[in-house]
Amino acid sequence: MGFQTDAIHAGQNPDPVTGAVSTPIYMTSTYAQDELGVHKGYEYGRTHNLTRQSLEKNIATLEKGKYGIAFSSGLSAENAVLGLVKAGDHLIVSNNVYGGTYRLFELIMKDYGLDFSWIDTSNPKNVENAIKENTKIVYIETPTNPMLNLTDIRAISKICKDNNLICVVDNTFMTPYFQNPLVAGADVVIHSTTKYLNGHCDVVGGMLITNDDKLHERFRYLQNAVGAIPSPFDCWLTLRATKTLAVRMKQHQENAMKIAEYLQTQSYAKKVIYPGLPSHPQYELAKKQMSGFGGMISVDFGEFETAKKIMNNIKVFTLAESLGGVESLVCHPASMTHASVPKEEREKLGLTESLVRFSVGIEDVEDLIADIEQAVKKL
């Protein structure tokens, strides 16, 4: 089936009881059992929920995966990935990931005896060199948040296969519409469904997708045992949103491309980072591994004061954390999403005080460009 068809149908057969075409919101915390040990396969709301199952099947299908395991946030999904390893194990992680990922790994889980190497995974050689005897997982984000660096998923997956490591890819920025890491050989895909998958800034959620039976079994166990599950209502809202993922992503990317091209011609924008611009250092890889370039743009305005003025004067774009909603947002990574990353680490990545991240929404692009123009006029 095509992507749009799966988005609308996968996991969403009409309700067997009534024929309801839209999936019901199965609000129940527990299930009546016929007799001791005899039930319909549903026992308790944390363990099983039909609305959640629909969403898991839906997103798994879109990611070309067999299994989806839903969580209450992107971070709780990441935490479940760490449930694959134990104290003494080593993980290799992209040096530029979402700030909350850094916080969870380096500032929390490190104390539990996990060892993390933060390296530039855009060069696969660096990954090979970082492998130790106790390495278990390679964790990448591509494109990264907010520097939009790319990592070659195929190359990293091959290294993982050869060394018996688990390859995990955070695909939040591209969504399955533009990039399918499992097809490229990754073992696990992570989503913050909070972002494009839900797309309307009204639900926080996460998802793991895998083809591997053993990994699935472990994730399912963790989902129930740790208990960071999404509510049936959140699942239902997200299911509503995946139905329009394809049309939204097309528009996000069309708008982002126009804005990136526009900004590139403006002298106040010292550096415009967007994977769809030929000036992006990994433009060739972007064209090869993604079928589009997404809706995220990062711009370095050279000076903090300029960046600050633009963020304060911009009107249609809202100054806020998060991304991937139908509405356009701007954010200041250094003080917001990536504040938990130490300053030296940030500067090494180019994540400067003058960097602004644009999450381009699906408004009329002329209005968005006019909005940037009016904000710049006040400089």
Ligand X SMILES: Cc1ncc(COP(=O)(O)O)c(C=O)c1O
Residues annotated as catalytic are 46, 98, 170, 195
Give the integer Cα–Cα distance in Å for 163 and 157. Answer: 10
CB 204 within 8 A of CB 228: no
59-86: buried (b, 16+ CB within 10 Å) or exposed (e) per residue?
A: bbbbbbbebbbbbbbbbbbbbbbbebbe
> Which one of 1, 5, 9, 14 is in contact with other proteins (CB under 8 A)?
14
DSSP state of 112: G
> Which one of 1, 5, 9, 22 is in contact with other proteins (CB under 8 A)?
22
269-290: buried (b, 16+ CB within 10 Å) or exposed (e) per residue?
A: bebbbbbbbeebebbebbeebb
Handedness of CA 254, 257, 261, 263 (dihedral sign): positive
Give the integer Cα–Cα distance in Å for 208 and 83. Answer: 12
Shortest Å, Cβ 19 to other proteins: 4
Task: Tell me the backbone φ, ψ of residue 222, rounded to 5 degrees.
Answer: -65, -40
Q: Judged by CB under 6 A, which stretch of 109-117, 167-175, 274-282, 288-296 contacts ligand X?
A: 167-175
Q: Judged by CB under 8 A, which stretch of 11-19, 283-291, 317-325, 341-349 contacts other proteins?
A: 11-19
The option from ligand X, other proteins, none interacting with 117 (CB < 5 to 8 A, set by class) reads none
Shortest Å, Cβ 18 to other proteins: 5
Shortest Å, Cβ 5 to ligand X: 27
Total of chain residues touching ligand X, rule CB under 6 A: 15
27 makes contact with other proteins (CB under 8 A): yes
Interface of this chain with ligand X, residues 117 to 156, rule: CB under 6 A: 141, 145
Give the integer Cα–Cα distance in Å for 37 and 42. Answer: 11
> Which one of 60, 69, 75, 260 is in contact with ligand X (CB under 6 A)?
75
Total of chain residues touching other proteins, rule CB under 8 A: 28
Binding mask 273-302 for ligand X (x = CB under 6 A): ------------------------------
> Which one of 23, 49, 54, 73 is in contact with ligand X (CB under 6 A)?
73
> Which one of 148, 153, 189, 204 is in contact with ligand X (CB under 6 A)?
204
Give the integer Cα–Cα distance in Å for 272 and 368. Answer: 16
Residue 213 CB neighbours (<10 A)? 10
CB 93 within 8 A of CB 78: no
Q: Judged by CB under 6 A, which stretch of 97-105, 226-234, 254-262, 346-354 contacts ligand X?
A: 97-105
Q: How many residues does the chain have?
A: 379
Q: Judged by CB under 8 A, which stretch of 29-37, 189-197, 305-313, 314-322 contacts other proteins?
A: 29-37
17 makes contact with other proteins (CB under 8 A): yes
- β-pairing, 135-141 with 188-192? unpaired
Q: Report the candidate in 234, 210, 242 with the shortest Cα–Cα distance to residue 80.
A: 210
Give the integer Cα–Cα distance in Å for 59 and 239. Answer: 9
**Interaxial angle between packed helices 50-62 and 232-242, expressed in degrees from 0 to 180 and rounded to the nearest 10:** 30
> Which one of 65, 68, 100, 143 is in contact with ligand X (CB under 6 A)?
100
170 makes contact with ligand X (CB under 6 A): yes
Tokens 């992507």, residue located: 3
Nearer to other proteins, 154 or 240 (CB): 240
37 makes contact with other proteins (CB under 8 A): no
Footprint of other proteins (CB under 8 A): 14-15, 17-35, 39-40, 42, 50-51, 233, 236
Footprint of ligand X (CB under 6 A): 73-75, 98, 100-101, 141, 145, 170, 172-173, 192, 194, 204, 206
